[in-house]
A = this chain, B = another copy of it.
Amino acid sequence: MLSNASKYAIRAVLFLANKSSNTQKYGSKHLADSLEIPNPFLAKLLQQLSRAGVISSAKGPGGGFYLTDQNRQRHISDILNVIEKENVLHTCLMGLPRCGDANPCPIHHLAAPFMVELRKKFNVQTIDELANEVKENGTYLTLKGLDDL
């Protein structure tokens, strides 16, 4: 459903949400290492997000990527809008062109409630809110360095 690009971008932004600030920036290299994402590929994504104003960046020594308070009020869907061409949150998992309540595909009734919740999470929850959930619920953005695997 989501491309690698989107998954990488979302994880990187949530990382920044929980760790960066105006005075604490992270280079793409650091992010790529922490999240186990190919660095040049991630750098491209960060560049796009920065250009679109979803995240912030500063060049030069001590520079890097970070989130401002403004950035934190944006939604995950803003990331998807930058990275993906079409709205992946509205595509049918069975590939039916116009799957919906009126013309459901064979798994529509199973998938629809989940998709509704996912859209809520990505469209209405702010990046800040989701990042806090990550912090408090003990969910992970990477499994790097975890020893209980």
Q: B8, B94, B117: which contacts A7 (Cβ < 8 A)?
A: B94
When the two chains form their complex, are residues B109 and A137 in contact, meaning their CB atoms are under 8 A apart? yes
Contacts of A96 in B (CB 8 A): 140-143
Residues of B within 8 A of A33 (CB): none
For this chain, the copies found in one complex come to 2
Identify the A interface with B (CB < 8 A): 1-2, 4, 7-8, 10-11, 14, 36, 93-99, 102-111, 113-114, 117-118, 121, 130, 133-134, 137-143, 146, 148-149
A27 to B16 Cα, complex, angstroms? 54
A-B residue pairs in contact (CB < 8 Å), sample of 22? A1-B93, A7-B94, A8-B95, A10-B94, A96-B141, A96-B142, A97-B143, A98-B143, A98-B149, A99-B140, A103-B146, A104-B138, A104-B139, A105-B141, A106-B134, A106-B140, A106-B141, A109-B137, A110-B117, A110-B121, A113-B114, A114-B114
A36 to chain B, nearest CB (A): 8
Given A1-B1, A1-B93, A93-B2: A103 touches B7 (CB 8 Å cut-off) = no
Going nearest first, the 5 A-B pairs with the smallest beta carbon separation are: A7-B95, A114-B114, A1-B1, A106-B139, A104-B139
